[in-house]
Amino acid sequence: MNGYDESDLRRAAAAGIQAPSMHNTQPWAFRLRDGAIEVTADPTRRLTVADQSGWAMRLALGAATFNARLALAWGGTPADVLLLPDPAESGLAARLTPGKKRPPTYAERDLYAAIERRHSNRQPFWPDPVPAGARVRLIEAARAEHAWLDLLVGMTALTGFSEIAHSADRVLRRDGRYQAELISWTGTESATDGMPAFAGAAVGESHDLIPQRAFTERRRAPGRDYEPEPLVGILGTAGDRRLDQLQAGQALQRVLLTVTDAGLACSMISQPIEVPAARDQLRRSLGRTGFPQIALRIGYGHPGRRSPRRPVEETLG
């Protein structure tokens, strides 16, 4: 095969747009160039207050790249991926060129099938523990994409994380510009981007272990408290360069799709990463080298609804 074509581009983009992004900004575009599919940033969709460094955008672009990889593998022509292929074009995140044709593996089929089912679940989970086998799968999923996933064990570790997360959340809640930006991306149910009310968590309570963003003013029903001992994972990378953050995005998406394939639910916790002092405190609390890139809450939950996505046509460059 000489190169990918328009049908490959549409397949890759249709999968790519299902990736997660902070506040569901969907900061990506996809294009065909010289037989390769390229994933590029859409700078108009970058959060100028919450994401001044571009970290969240690069996580989203990495996640979209991983979905595109799965779509191309499912189509029988897996991609060779080069991240940041052109130093002269800072917005170009990844270039996918055709590799050797082969049938998709069972794992690729399963993860590709999970793309349509994956969504963030910010509601309370059931108290059932996540089995050891599933935990191992998640750790291996992160490792396969050159990242690490530390699962917090015991209430001491959870309480420490809770204190860091709540401290970071208080910092962000006191920032008027940050809150105004968040509100601007809190969309209606008819929007094709942003956070609809149905996807947000109910208003947090003082005894909640993990803070929730104020995407809605809905109160939760009596007896619907959050699980007292959630499974929290910290996903990180050895470095913290732009390349590392794109790799973290790919690892994040592999973990999220593995979560979905295992019948689990997940929500992301980014406040401790957004506040530099909290991120440094979290890094030191883990007692390992490397840089935390996102935190995850994992468990069993009631099925929810996916946040909206823009039409594929709007993302093609």
Q: Is the pLDDT of residue 155 over 70?
A: yes
Given this model, what pLDDT does residue 202 score?
63
Given this model, what pLDDT does residue 208 score?
82
Q: Is the pLDDT of residue 1 over 70?
A: no
Q: How confident is the model at residue 201 (pLDDT cuts 50, 70, 90)?
A: low
- Asked if 64 and 39 touch (Cβ cutoff 8 Å), the reply is yes
Q: How confident is the model at residue 217 (pLDDT cuts 50, 70, 90)?
A: low
Q: Is the pLDDT of residue 220 over 70?
A: no
- Asked if 166 and 159 touch (Cβ cutoff 8 Å), the reply is no
Q: Is the pLDDT of residue 180 over 80?
A: yes
pLDDT in tens, 13-36: 999 999 999 999 999 999 999 999
Q: What is the mean pLDDT of residues 111-133?
A: 95
Nearest CA among 58, 43, 25 for reference residue 249: 58
Angle made by CA atoms 201, 297, 120, in degrees to the nearest 5: 50
Given this model, what pLDDT does residue 55 score?
98
Given this model, what pLDDT does residue 304 score?
84
Given this model, what pLDDT does residue 291 score?
98
Return the residue matching tokens 């969504």: 119
Q: Is the pLDDT of residue 219 over 60?
A: yes
- Phi and psi for 307 in degrees, rounded to 5? -70, 155
Q: How confident is the model at residue 172 (pLDDT cuts 50, 70, 90)?
A: very high
- Asked if 248 and 293 touch (Cβ cutoff 8 Å), the reply is yes
Q: Is the pLDDT of residue 221 over 70?
A: no
How far is the C-alpha of 196 from the C-alpha of 188, rounded, in Å? 5
Given this model, what pLDDT does residue 8 score?
98
How far is the C-alpha of 162 from the C-alpha of 50, rounded, in Å? 21
pTM greater than the 0.85 cutoff: yes
How far is the C-alpha of 120 from the C-alpha of 316, rounded, in Å? 25
Q: How many CB atoms lie within 10 A of CB 180?
A: 10
Average pLDDT, the chain: 93
Return the residue matching tokens 């809190």: 186
Given this model, what pLDDT does residue 196 score?
84
Q: Is the pLDDT of residue 231 over 60?
A: yes
Q: Is the pLDDT of residue 43 over 90?
A: yes
Q: What is the mean pLDDT of residues 284-307?
A: 94
- Phi and psi for 47 in degrees, rounded to 5? -80, 110
Q: What is the mean pLDDT of residues 249-266?
A: 98
- Asked if 206 and 122 touch (Cβ cutoff 8 Å), the reply is no
Q: Residue 35: left (phi > 0), alpha (psi -120 to 50), or beta?
A: left
Q: Is the pLDDT of residue 223 over 60?
A: no
Q: What is the mean pLDDT of residues 184-193?
A: 84
Given this model, what pLDDT does residue 119 score?
95
Tell me which of 125-139, 187-201, 204-218 is least confident: 204-218
What is the percentage of the chain residues whose pLDDT exceeds 70? 93
Q: What is the mean pLDDT of residues 65-92?
A: 97
Q: How confident is the model at residue 213 (pLDDT cuts 50, 70, 90)?
A: confident
Q: How confident is the model at residue 224 (pLDDT cuts 50, 70, 90)?
A: low
The b-or-e profile of 202-227 (16+ CB within 10 A means b, else e) is bebeeebbbbbbbbbeeebeeeeebb
